[in-house]
Structure 1
Amino acid sequence: MKLPRRTDFDLDAVLAELDPNLDGARLSELGEGWDNIAYAVHPPSGGQQLLLRVSKFAEDTERFDTTTKDADLLRFVARRSPLVTNTVRAVDPHAGMLLLTMVPGIGAGTAPIRDRPALAESLGTLLARLHRSRVPNGLVDAATPAESWRVSTATAFARVTDRFGDADRCLIESFLTGPAPDRPRHTVFCHNDLGAEHLIVDPESGALSGVIDWSDAVHDDPARDFALVWADLGWEIVEGALAAYVRRGGVVDPGLVARARWFAAHSLAATLADEAARNDPALAGSLVRFRRVLQGGRNNLPRTQ
């Protein structure tokens, strides 16, 4: 459930305070998440579009703290990522506003990937570098424990089991009643939400050019950063990314593939529960991806100890 939108400010006025050159700029809404709304900013004089992110937190301290932390996180990522990320142009933490550069391109889920090995190589290179990054204290937290996440999803799915056929219901229930994965040997800085919509590709070449939306970043299991790639783009991309990851010094422990499969399947199970509750027609496609994740993957990849 999303937080309600705030009505305690004049969006155009705050934007002009962030950058006087944007007085009179045109805004178009790009999307809404649980705690933020994103707008494309079209400068009145033309030129590069910008991105305005608006916090929906009503409480002043929470809004100030989360906006400040997110700005610090984006600055850290910009220094570490070999791919383009949103650069911070201006911040008003009291208003909960972040003015950012736009990452050009489109989400990988809406573009044909013409060279899948090249995309996998770029992704593995990115993750090897990120996972070796030393994160400043307090910048990110540990993720929600896998077991807690599993219980929450199982509860949500129990409310909509009548929306599924017997075979699909049994498959999902069997997964959700099984054990969550053990903690990994080591934890790293993770994007933690690398779904196709956050992997930005060039619309002409299909090459991976940038990564967006770092607000869910954590210091946790490296398998989390392969999970949604698996769920959205398939095992082939993950396999290639893992191989590139190892070549560039990434640490792949013996259980990483199994944990990535679990996180991918769990994410899809949570999506299935949500889509069933909303009678979303995307449910059929999510079921196909859920089955594929459970059936895919190999554990005999090159690995480091």
Structure 2
Amino acid sequence: MTGDIRALLSRHLPDYRVRSLRRLGRGLDNTVYEVNDELLVRTSKAADPQTTRQEVARLAAVRELSPLPVPEVVFADEESGVIAYRKLPGEPLSRQLLDDPKRLAEPLGGFLGALHGISPGRMRELAPLDLYPAPTLLQDAELDYRDVEQHVPEAQRPLVERFLRDTPPDEPRTLRFCHNDLGAEHVLVDVRTSSITGVIDWTDAAVTDPAHDFALIYRDLGPEVFELTVSHYEFELDEEDRARVLFYARCALIEDLAYGLSTGPSHYADAALSHIPWTFS
């Protein structure tokens, strides 16, 4: 595959000299390579020209409005599903221990206010609708949990199992354009200053329930940072919204636990296990 990457770089950036090329990470749908510590090249397991064009246009639209840095596309090869970006500074929040994570709340709240304030109609051509029903999410979570429950500390199992017996929340009344996968692994930070340097991986961006974006903040950073983020958010979150935030956070934690214990990197499972108390209590 690295030979294919070199060929694409030569085609789209003929004067660019490749000094180093390494695989940086692999997910369910994509693999990312780092070139010269300055470019990131993302390859798709299932290339789709229309999807690639849509993502490039989506990133251009978000870059105009986001108060936080998002990736800048250097080139896209539609037939192969490859997109190259300039590498943003910082490291994924999922791999860092910050002295003061509460400092992330204000920029996250402003970022989500700007993102969710984009007209859904404008973004509808650039992002799909995501209307996965809550009852189905709950069923998926229960199936995942049955595969991994033996890894959950025995004292914490009643917390998770009580949630799985609960009635799922009502569907949202309002849909907005969302990042839709705003986990700590997609937020870049400068550990020295506890500041955000970028938001990456917009593959799952969609017009959907804005509670999805808050849910992963709750899951990964805890209720205190969540509440502070909401205090800097332009729109109101009512009790129904908050119920869906908590519901999505719990479903997402179970999903990450199952992923990290099966085909995904183990740090997903480690983080999920450590966040059970604040996510399910």
Tell me if both proteins adopt one fold, taking TM over 0.5 as the criterion: yes
Matching residue of 1:301:
none
Distance 2:142 2:21 in 1: 40
Return the letter of the residue paired with 1:175.
Answer: F
Matching residue of 1:289:
275
Q: Report the TM-score, using the length of structure 2 for normalisation.
A: 0.89
Distance 2:198 2:267 in 1: 30
Q: What is the Cα deviation at residue 130 of structure 1?
A: 0.6
Q: In structure 2, list runs of 5 or more residues that go unmatched.
A: none
Does structure 1 conserve the Cα–Cα contact (< 8 Å) formed by 2:258 and 2:269? no
- Cα distance per residue 1:187-206 (max 9 Å; x no partner): 11111111111111123212
Matching residue of 1:184:
172
2:128 partner SS: coil
Change (3 A) 1:172 1:118: closer
- 1:258-297 matched pairs, under 5 angstroms: 258-277=243-262, 283=269, 286-295=272-281
Matching residue of 1:147:
135
Return the letter of the residue paired with 2:27.
Answer: G
1:51 partner SS: strand
Return the letter of the residue paired with 2:91.
Answer: I
Matching residue of 2:240:
255
Matching residue of 2:231:
243
Indicate yes or no: 2:10 matched with 1:16: yes
Matching residue of 1:4:
none
Deviates more, 1:82-91 or 1:148-157: 148-157
Indicate yes or no: 2:37 matched with 1:51: no
- 1:39-118 matched pairs, under 5 angstroms: 39-42=33-36, 49-57=38-46, 62-118=47-103
Structure 1 consecutive aligned stretches of length 4 or more whose deviation exceeds 6 Å: none
TM-align CA RMSD: 2.4
User: Would you say how many aligned residue pairs link Structure 1 and Structure 2?
Assistant: 277
Matching residue of 2:27:
33
- 1:153-172 matched pairs, under 5 angstroms: 153-164=141-152, 166-172=154-160
Q: In structure 1, list runs of 5 or more residues that go unmatched.
A: 1-6, 43-47, 296-305
Alignment partner of 2:205 out of 217, 237, 243: 217
2:31 partner SS: strand
Deviates more, 1:172-181 or 1:254-263: 172-181
Deviates more, 1:216-225 or 1:133-142: 133-142
- Name the larger-Rg structure: 1
Change (3 A) 1:284 1:116: closer
User: Which is helix-richer, 1 or 2?
Assistant: 2
Q: Report the TM-score, using the length of structure 1 for normalisation.
A: 0.82
Deviates more, 1:265-274 or 1:167-176: 167-176
